[in-house]
Amino acid sequence: MPKLSQLTHWTGSNAGRKGNACLFGRLALPGAPPEQLPPALTSRGAWPSACHVRGSTEKPALPCFQKAFVLSQTVAALAALHPRTPVRAGPSIADLPIVPEVAPDLVAQCLRAFPAETSPGRTGLRVQHLKDACVAGGTDAFLSHLAGVVQLLARGRAPHFVAPVLAGAGLVALPKPNGGVRPIAVGEIMRRLTGKCLMKIVRADAHNHFWPLQVGVAVPHGAEIAIHTVRAWLWRHRTSNAKVLVKLDFANAFNQVSRTTVLQEARAHFPALARWATWCYGQPTRLQFGGHPVAALLRQQGLDIAVFYLDDGVLAGDLAAVAAALQQLQQRASAVGLHLNLAKCELVVAGTAPEAALRNHFPVPLLQTEQGAGNWPETYLMGLGGFPTLRSRSGSFGHGLAFSMFDGMVRRSLGDFTGIHLTAQQWLQASRGLAFGGLGLRSCEQHAPAAFLASVGFGCQFFCGRSQSLETFKHALVQLNAALPPDKAITTEAALGSKQSTLSEKLDGARWAHQLHHASIIEQAVLRSESSVGARAFLSALPHGHGRMEPAAFISERVRLGVPDSDADAWCPRWDGISDRQSHHAGTCVAGGERTQRHHAIRNLEWASQAGLRPEKEAPHLLLPQSPDDTSTPQRRPADLFIPALAGSPAALDFAVTATTRQETLASASQIEGAAAAAYAHHKETYLATAQTCERQGVLFLPMVVETTGNWDARAYKVLRHIAQGVASRTGTDHATTLSTLLQEAKVVVRGFRARAALRRRAELASQ
């Protein structure tokens, strides 16, 4: 009897089929009355503003409104995916258990967990609307009212006619690669907020109920656990002759599952969810419940693996046991309205197995097409969007070329976008984290071992360390340690217990130390300054208000990466000095007026006013005469910005910009981050005894020194934190976010004027 090669894949008859056209559009819920459908749908069956038809690569796309029947077919397809099945009568909401109290703190925590870009529902209410309502002085009251609304919904006490709106969802029809449409439900924010709060309450109970069969609910990193468990199993049984694995695919599971069964399970196992589920489960897409009523059934089959991530499952073990479990699973699933789509299921043979045995045990639709070990891995790798998943869940063994190609594409794209074409050494720096002088463009090839080891570490406790025998795990650990100094090598236990960020920081730190060791003294000073918090804030600045920067000013990032502006040093056209090829001179040149403009721009940022500190620019008569014949002291203006009360004392803020490449502080700046700013701040204090004179008159003198990279002196940074705290308290925003915005705007000003000075001098040199 012929045997199949190792890891042979069998899939259903739908494998490889491609559709010729795709449809995008936002639609109302299937079955909605005509008055709730968009006018274009009810009149002509077309919605030109939201729908498009994408043709094949050989034929141009056609506008959707030219093919009205296509939209009708899509509506019919969506309606078929959302069947309206009646729910058998059960206990009334009033007879169900009361939901525990939903505290305002829990509501605030769940509200913060929403990403800022979360899509709104059909009412248009966004998460940001709720966050903006948390104004200073009214946050507690608003959260208390919001918690009351959530409590009302969770207990099912809202009017029943509100359910189609708050518990409903709009559908976005997306095309499937193999034809058909995939409906994406976008629910209302209040429904999602209530669901988040309730899931927080029942999280522990859900974990105890579903684990270990279901890893998609209340199990952190459940997908990682499932994937590495399967990989470990395949590795152990790679020489077996009777082990198989079946990947399950239920057809339209969330919409086909019996709502009656789901509600019964919710009432039996999660009483806190019973009222909410009963109130809002009138539409198939409103409740996505991951329960599997087949746990006991599968445990009796003697399987090696039986794990589900929501509606995707894996069964693995002896050939006969898997076949029996698959048959019983089909029968049990049909009883609750689920249909196992064998055409999309996949059979994987670990090692070898007789083909006759497979055909005797498994249905024909599952064995329709043999993919074998041909070119299907390359097909999967063509999806560049899956590279992060590939990097973290698959060892870099065998994928080095693919990772290198992807890194090359990112590098070329950076050059096309910015006009900065990096050498190999400069690209190594750009691929480091922001705290190590890079751009945060993580290299897939360099960080794949760290991502894989961290991914294995998430689930190693669940599959009993069996991944340690994987060749890919050992290979990844060897790759990681090869990039580290011998005294920084990571042990197996340390790698399994570390997050990817920790391992990646170790890699960045090793390359950072190597670059500093081989850099010149000027390069060391610039690198240390560029790695500071203030300097790297520029890379996160939003192009809005003071954070907006003209495109030409982005050449300041050339300095960060050590990219020269010219081939050789030249004589500065505005000052009697050398304009170096890196344009460091442009940041400190006394001619041209850029220094004064930059100083005033920093001073004029309105953060102190927003904090309610009532600042005064260039306040006169700040210092009183010390004697009858003292005429010089009253004429001094030590404050660019005078604040009547800063931390309980009048304060004079004196702004200044210095460079890390100044000869007076170059040696210390090359060894200590912020040394140039600290030295210049000390100079400002001691010059003409300014700080001492102000102190004698009850005024706190604070030098606000920033380096040309955007790195602030430590004492100036404390002042900025205090100002940001005042702004946050008045506006009701987060303190950390406010401080980041302040640093970003200041950094844009500093680097913008520096770039402008460099561009002006380069243009004048070219004209000469």
738-763: per-residue pLDDT in tens?
999 999 999 899 998 988 888 888 88
Chain mean position to CA 475: 28
Q: Give me the DSSP letters along 167-178.
A: S-EEEEEEE-TT
Q: Report yes or no: 287 and 185 within 8 Å, Cβ to Cβ.
A: no
Q: Mean pLDDT highest for which of 7-16, 41-50, 620-629?
A: 620-629
With respect to residue 487, please indicate whether it lies within any of the assigned structural domains.
Answer: yes
If you count them, how many residues does the chain have? 768
Find the farthest-apart pair of alpha carbons in the chain and give their distance in angstroms, rounded: 115
pLDDT (average), residues 340-355: 86
Dihedral of the alpha carbons of 670, 674, 677, 683, in degrees to the nearest 10: -80
| Greater model confidence, 22 or 359 | 359
Range of the domain at 608: 537-767
| Greater model confidence, 730 or 59 | 730
Question: At residue 694, does pLDDT exceed 50?
Answer: yes
Edge-to-edge strands of the sheet including 641-646?
616-617, 641-646, 649-658, 700-707
671 plus 629 within the same structural domain: yes
User: In total, how many domains does the chain have?
Assistant: 2
With respect to residue 77, please indicate whether it lies within any of the assigned structural domains.
Answer: no
497 plus 597 within the same structural domain: no
Helix (H) or strand (E) holding 765: helix 735-767
With respect to residue 253, please indicate whether it lies within any of the assigned structural domains.
Answer: no
Burial class (CB in 10 A: 0-12, 13-18, 19+), 764: middle
Of the three residues 452, 485, 518, the one that is the final residue of a domain is: 518
Closest CA to 98 of 329, 256, 271, 345: 271
Residue type, 231: R
Question: At residue 39, does pLDDT exceed 90?
Answer: no
User: How many CA atoms lie less than 13 Å away from 634 in the CB half-sphere?
Assistant: 9
Distance CA 46, CA 60 (A): 19
582 plus 492 within the same structural domain: no
Q: Give the model's pLDDT for residue 23.
A: 29
Helix axis angle for 444-459 and 222-236, nearest 10°, is 90
| Greater model confidence, 160 or 527 | 527
Task: Kindly report whether the peptide bond that precedes residue 212 is cis, defined as omega within 30 degrees of 0.
Answer: yes
Helix (H) or strand (E) holding 77: helix 68-81
pLDDT tens string 464-522: 545 444 667 788 899 899 999 999 999 988 888 888 999 999 999 999 999 999 999 99
Spell out the residues 6+ positions from residue 123 whose beta carbon is closer than 8 angstroms to its own.
Answer: 165, 188
Q: Give the model's pLDDT for residue 380.
A: 53
Question: At residue 119, does pLDDT exceed 90?
Answer: no
Q: Give the model's pLDDT for residue 185.
A: 82
Distance CA 144, CA 719 (A): 34
The alpha helices in 340-396, defined as continuous H runs, are 355-361, 376-381, 387-393
Question: At residue 268, does pLDDT exceed 50?
Answer: yes
Helix (H) or strand (E) holding 578: strand 578-579
Helix (H) or strand (E) holding 316: strand 312-318
With respect to residue 695, please indicate whether it lies within any of the assigned structural domains.
Answer: yes
Q: What's the distance, Cα to Cα, between the start and end of the chain in Å? A: 85
Q: Mean pLDDT highest for which of 46-55, 257-266, 291-300?
A: 257-266
With respect to residue 472, please indicate whether it lies within any of the assigned structural domains.
Answer: yes
For 740-743, the CB contacts below 8 A with 24+ separation are: 740/537, 740/540, 741/547, 742/605, 742/607, 743/533, 743/534, 743/537, 743/710, 743/712
With respect to residue 526, please indicate whether it lies within any of the assigned structural domains.
Answer: no
What b/e readout covers 720-750, taking b as 16+ CB neighbours within 10 angstroms?
bbebbebbbeeebbeeeebbbbbbbbbbbbb
Question: At residue 330, does pLDDT exceed 50?
Answer: yes
Q: Report yes or no: 46 and 65 within 8 Å, Cβ to Cβ.
A: yes
Q: Report yes or no: 623 and 637 within 8 Å, Cβ to Cβ.
A: no
714 plus 755 within the same structural domain: yes
581 plus 656 within the same structural domain: yes
554 plus 507 within the same structural domain: no
Question: At residue 409, does pLDDT exceed 60?
Answer: yes
* Six token digits for residue 38: 């968009």
Q: Report yes or no: 349 and 357 within 8 Å, Cβ to Cβ.
A: no
Q: Give the model's pLDDT for residue 470.
A: 60
| pLDDT bucket at 652, cuts 50 / 70 / 90 | very high
DSSP structural state of residue 291: -
Question: At residue 601, does pLDDT exceed 50?
Answer: yes
504 plus 576 within the same structural domain: no
Question: At residue 674, does pLDDT exceed 80?
Answer: yes
Q: Give the model's pLDDT for residue 398.
A: 54
Question: At residue 61, does pLDDT exceed 60?
Answer: no
513 plus 610 within the same structural domain: no
Q: Which of 69-83, 326-340, 491-505, 667-681 has the lowest mean pLDDT?
A: 69-83
Question: At residue 392, does pLDDT exceed 70?
Answer: no
- Mean model confidence pLDDT for the chain: 80
Distance CA 285, CA 30 (A): 10
pLDDT (average), residues 249-270: 86
Burial class (CB in 10 A: 0-12, 13-18, 19+), 356: exposed
652 plus 586 within the same structural domain: yes
604 plus 745 within the same structural domain: yes
With respect to residue 332, please indicate whether it lies within any of the assigned structural domains.
Answer: no
Strand partners, 577: none
Q: Give the model's pLDDT for residue 303.
A: 85
Of the three residues 462, 487, 518, the one that is the final residue of a domain is: 518
Of the three residues 518, 550, 565, the one that is the final residue of a domain is: 518
443 plus 564 within the same structural domain: no
685 plus 725 within the same structural domain: yes
Q: Which of 125-134, 163-172, 349-358 has the lowest mean pLDDT?
A: 163-172
Q: Report yes or no: 133 and 125 within 8 Å, Cβ to Cβ.
A: no
Give the whole-number percent of the chain exceeding pLDDT 70: 82
With respect to residue 406, please indicate whether it lies within any of the assigned structural domains.
Answer: yes
Q: Give the model's pLDDT for residue 304.
A: 86
For Cα atoms 203, 207, 210, give the angle at the middle one, nearest 5 degrees.
130
| pLDDT bucket at 265, cuts 50 / 70 / 90 | confident
| Greater model confidence, 551 or 59 | 551
pTM to 2 decimal places = 0.69
